[in-house]
Amino acid sequence: MRLLRMLWGVPLAIGAALACAQGEPQPDALAMTDPIFRDFALDAHLPGLVWGVVIEGRLVHVGTFGVQDLESRRPVSADTLFRIASMTKAFTALTLLRLRDDGRVRLDAPAEQYVPQLRTWHYPTADSPRIRVRDLLNHAAGFVTDDPWGDRQTPLPEADFTRLLEGGVPFTRAPETAYEYSNLGFAILGRIVTNVSGHPYPDTIATTLLRPLGMDSSGFVADAAPRERRALGYRWENDGWRLEPTLGPGAFGAMGGLQTSARDYAKWVSFLLSAWPPRDEADSGIVKRATVRELAQGSNFPTLRSRPGRSAPACRQAATYGMGMRVAIDCDLGFTLSHSGGYPGYGSHVLLLPARSTALFAFANRTYAPVATAVWDAALALQKAGLLPGERPTPVSAALADAYASIGGIYRAGDVQVAADKLAMNFLLDRSAENWARTLRRLRDQVGECSVDAAPRATGALSGEFLWQCEHGRVQGSMELAPTRPPRIQQLLLEPVAP
């Protein structure tokens, strides 16, 4: 109990002080997330925890709890270094995609083209396809889930890994038939990075991503960092903390070996978020924006899961694994990318909301700490309080605006033929002009004159929705344009809003 009281007495460092140091504007309201993380840290028996909120490319809030280690009792700070475990996988994936951009690797090539030891493997069925690089990225190579075993392989010497590959591994199913999370698969990707780049995996990650992003405190050799900055990892066992051994660098570092700080990691998520939305401005980043967005491309093996966190009501998500990121559409938060990290001594999670240019993350120094619960609860609390940026609207294209103006003219005239030159060739084949006239007349009798000048909401460059205010109600509508030049209206829906 004495130790717990001591931890509770460590002051909570929130974003205002960090913001002043960085000269960044910091809304005090973001501190509403602090009790969520603090309560979680107490309930989950965490020695230390750090969390951050990134919005529009800035680390706008950081909170901390507890201590880096139980010996010195140094408080956790934004510069404390944590192992982030499987959140390393996104770094591996993006580096591999960068090598693909440079013409040095092909995603659809057999992995054995880059790792010769795989050529002699015995596959589970006679009709099994050879494992592709893409299958390893998407966890669809047919390997068994291997979290407990895989974590302990981090320091495996490269020579021992080579011998493991030469001996072949058992499959749990044929490749390309299902998703199953595999640390072994990402260790093989690390070997591909090494073989293709001609440099050790950690060096290639550093020169491709870490150093260009200014992540100068991050790396794969935990003991190389100053002791006074490291969060030591602990296991909560038999109602007490037990120090976990530090896992050194090795062949499985590509699946989970990175050590970083909140301040460094914020630079990474800011870079990832900057890839959205697609746009015309110069693409001068260290990796092309379109390449970064490939991290969200999955293997078409979706899983049904409950949203992480304890917030009600629960939201069921159809999720898939992209490349180093889990992809899901959430009923409250929309398009999400996320990933957890679980490791002996550590637990972490990151949640990206690309359409809102926002990310939340947290690092803890307790074995397999399920910090995803607090991260998602905090995001939902910010969303409920109206503190998350809104999703960026899709611009209304000139073609869509022109079609929308024609639809207004159709309603006023009660006749689709006043815009005959704006209609695609299928439009009057699918529904006659006479039928359209009757439908428009009934709608007009029901709601009266409508204000048709309200701006539409684009759902794409060639599709959109709109809502009209009318004399006796409202009309909701949608439009889709055909893929022709010029684009013409292929489908139009108009109906009164039900009470």
pLDDT at 24: 37
For residues 364 and 228, state if they share a domain: yes
Share of the chain above pLDDT 70, in %: 94
Q: From the centroid of its chain, how far is CA 341?
A: 13
Q: Is there a domain that residue 304 lies in?
A: yes
For residue 171, the one-letter residue type is F
User: How many domains in the chain?
Assistant: 2
Using the CB atoms, write b or e for 330-359: b if 16+ within 10 Å. beebebbbbbbbbbbbbbbbbbbbbbbbbb
This model's pTM is above 0.75: yes
Task: Give the domain extent around 221.
Answer: 2-92+200-384
Q: Is there a domain that residue 435 lies in?
A: yes
Q: Is there a domain that residue 325 lies in?
A: yes
For residues 231 and 340, state if they share a domain: yes
pLDDT at 312: 60
For residues 316 and 464, state if they share a domain: no
Cβ atoms of 184 and 190 within 8 Å: the answer is no
For residues 437 and 368, state if they share a domain: no
Average pLDDT over residues 321-336: 95
Cβ atoms of 379 and 361 within 8 Å: the answer is no
For residues 405 and 379, state if they share a domain: no
Judged by phi (left if over 0) then psi (alpha if -120 to 50, else beta), residue 69 lies in beta
Q: Pick from 384, 406, 421: which residue ends a domain? A: 384
CATH number of the domain enclosing 404: 3.10.450
For residues 76 and 209, state if they share a domain: yes
For residues 407 and 375, state if they share a domain: no
For residues 471 and 469, give the distance between their C-alpha atoms in angstroms, rounded to a whole number: 7
For residues 410 and 285, state if they share a domain: no
Q: Pick from 319, 351, 384: which residue ends a domain? A: 384
For residues 298 and 342, state if they share a domain: yes
Q: Is there a domain that residue 422 lies in?
A: yes
| Confidence check: pLDDT of 326 > 80 | yes
* Closest-CA residue to 59 (of 6, 120, 93, 16): 16
CATH number of the domain enclosing 220: 3.40.710.10
Interval 182-240: pLDDT, tens: 999 999 999 999 999 999 999 999 999 999 999 999 999 999 999 999 999 999 999 99
Average pLDDT over residues 479-489: 98
For residues 330 and 376, state if they share a domain: yes
Radius of gyration of the chain (CA): 27
Q: Is there a domain that residue 392 lies in?
A: no
Q: From the centroid of its chain, how far is CA 393?
A: 20
Q: Is there a domain that residue 178 lies in?
A: no
Q: Is there a domain that residue 207 lies in?
A: yes
Q: Pick from 360, 384, 408: which residue ends a domain? A: 384
For residues 247 and 277, state if they share a domain: yes
Q: Is there a domain that residue 118 lies in?
A: no
CA atoms within 13 A on the CB side of 18: 27
| Confidence check: pLDDT of 121 > 90 | yes
pLDDT at 296: 97
pLDDT at 7: 34
* Closest-CA residue to 99 (of 236, 16, 193, 206): 193
Confidence of residue 318 (pLDDT cuts 50, 70, 90): confident
For residues 377 and 425, state if they share a domain: no
Interval 235-280: pLDDT, tens: 999 999 999 999 999 999 999 999 999 999 999 999 999 999 999 9
For residues 242 and 344, give the distance between their C-alpha atoms in angstroms, rounded to a whole number: 11
Interval 13-72: pLDDT, tens: 333 333 333 333 345 889 999 999 999 999 999 999 999 999 999 999 999 999 999 999
For residues 491 and 255, give the distance between their C-alpha atoms in angstroms, rounded to a whole number: 48
